[in-house]
């Protein structure tokens, strides 16, 4: 099945805002770290301590955090999501304020405001919609390390994912034999009679090819389930029926 641009909207947004910050003049001496690249505590410590200076400066960093996803319109026909992209600003004032010894000379509040200025109303590549500051865009955080100042900077991007059609739920007609039908043309119907979820990855599931006759040793009632599949569409809901001995 082919993918669409919005299959990757969350990754693209992270990488784009990371690049925008890292290449801005204000952040030329502030390390910008991308959490999705496998960030560890030592990366942050190196940036803050001066052991891994950027442009000869030390004492601060900005982390592009993994986004959250909200669904403000959960009942919409296609998924409407709001990507909440946050940034953690960390400053160690004892080092950052000592400009004579290579401190960056920028406080956490200045850095947070510049993140907002650079990204508010920014249109990220291939995402299309506008990144907007949250109604509480800068939130002070309890610093886990004494002597540090932490802020969380929050922006949001509302976007709609392409609607993916769902296969219609198969209908079960019990009798001397069990007949399955699906209103979606070309769909493959899988069924089980052991209570497990029917589908191509289930070794106990059976692809429907015609009316079903349960074997004589079947113990009734049967927990009969069926799901229909078609490439390029979301599988149907699982239909269930308790089949009694006729």
**DSSP state letter for 158:** E
What 3-state class would DSSP assign to 134? strand
Q: Does residue 40 form part of some domain?
A: yes
Domain termination residue (choose one: 160, 181, 215): 160
Co-location of 101 and 16 in the same domain: yes
Dihedral angle at the C-alpha atoms of 49, 52, 57, 62, nearest 10 degrees?
Answer: -80
Domain end marker among 160, 179, 202: 160
Residues 9 and 83 in one domain: yes
Same domain assignment for residues 103 and 215: no
Residue 224 lies in a domain: yes
Q: Distance between CA atoms of 148 and 108, rounded to whole angstroms? A: 9
Structural domain boundaries, residue 115: 5-160
Q: How far apart are CA 102 and CA 57, in angstroms?
A: 5
Q: Return the pLDDT at 232.
A: 87
| 65 lies in the same domain as 20 | yes
pLDDT tens for the chain, residues 1 to 246: 333 445 677 888 898 999 999 999 999 999 999 998 777 678 888 878 765 545 668 899 999 999 998 876 655 555 677 889 999 999 999 999 999 988 999 999 999 999 999 999 998 766 667 899 999 999 999 998 899 999 999 999 987 665 568 899 999 999 889 999 999 999 999 999 998 999 999 999 999 999 999 988 888 888 999 999 999 888 999 999 998 876
Q: What is the pLDDT of residue 32?
A: 93
H or E element in which residue 83 lies: strand 80-91
How far apart CA 91 and CA 2 sit, in angstroms, is: 44
Structure tokens at 178: 């069990």
What pLDDT sits at residue 161? 60
**207 domain-assigned:** yes
125 in the same domain as 30 = yes
In a domain, 166, yes or no: no
Residues whose CB falls within 8 Å of the CB of residue 161, separated by 6 or more in sequence, listed in order: 6, 9, 78, 79, 80, 81
Same domain, 30 and 121: yes
Q: Return the CATH number at 25.
A: 3.30.2000.10
CB-based contacts of 198: which residues, under 8 Å, 6+ apart? 190, 191, 192, 205, 206, 225, 226, 227, 238
**Within a domain: residue 10?**
yes
Cα–Cα distance list, 214 to 137, 173, 207, 211, 242 (Å): 62, 14, 14, 10, 13
On whether both 177 and 213 belong to a single domain, the answer is yes
Domain count, the chain: 2
Compute the distance between CA of residue 34 and CA of residue 118 in angstroms, rounded to an integer.
17
Domain-embedded: residue 165: no
- Quote the pLDDT of residue 2: 37
Which one of 111, 141, 160 terminates a domain?
160
- Report yes or no on 32 lying in a domain: yes
Residue 114 domain-assigned (yes or no)? yes
Tokens read off for 244: 């009694």
Same-domain check for residues 209 and 138 = no
Give the pLDDT score at 3: 38
């Amino acid at each position: 099945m082919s993918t669409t641009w919005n299959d990757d909207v969350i990754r693209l947004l992270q990488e784009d805002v990371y690049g925008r910050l890292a290449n801005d003049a204000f952040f030329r001496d502030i390390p910008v770290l991308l959490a999705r690249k496998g960030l560890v505590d030592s990366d942050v410590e190196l940036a803050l301590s001066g052991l891994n200076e950027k442009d000869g400066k030390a004492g601060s960093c900005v982390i592009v955090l993994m986004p959250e996803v909200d669904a403000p319109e959960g009942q919409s026909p296609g998924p409407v999501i709001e990507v909440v992209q946050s940034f953690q600003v960390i400053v160690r004032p004892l080092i950052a304020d000592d400009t004579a010894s290579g401190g960056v000379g920028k406080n956490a509040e200045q850095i947070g405001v510049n993140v907002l200025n650079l990204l508010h109303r920014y249109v990220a590549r291939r995402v299309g919609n506008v990144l907007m500051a949250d109604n509480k865009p800068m939130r002070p955080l309890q610093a886990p390390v004494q002597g540090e100042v932490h802020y969380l900077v929050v922006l949001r991007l509302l976007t709609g994912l392409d609607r993916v059609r769902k296969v219609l739920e198969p209908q079960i007609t019990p009798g001397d034999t069990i007949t399955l039908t699906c209103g979606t043309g070309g769909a493959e119907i899988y069924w089980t009679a052991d209570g497990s979820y029917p589908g191509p990855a289930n070794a106990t599931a059976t692809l429907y090819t015609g009316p079903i006759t349960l074997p004589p040793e079947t113990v009734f009632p049967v927990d009969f389930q069926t799901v229909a599949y078609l490439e390029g569409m979301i599988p149907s809901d699982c239909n269930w029926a308790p089949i009694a001995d006729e």
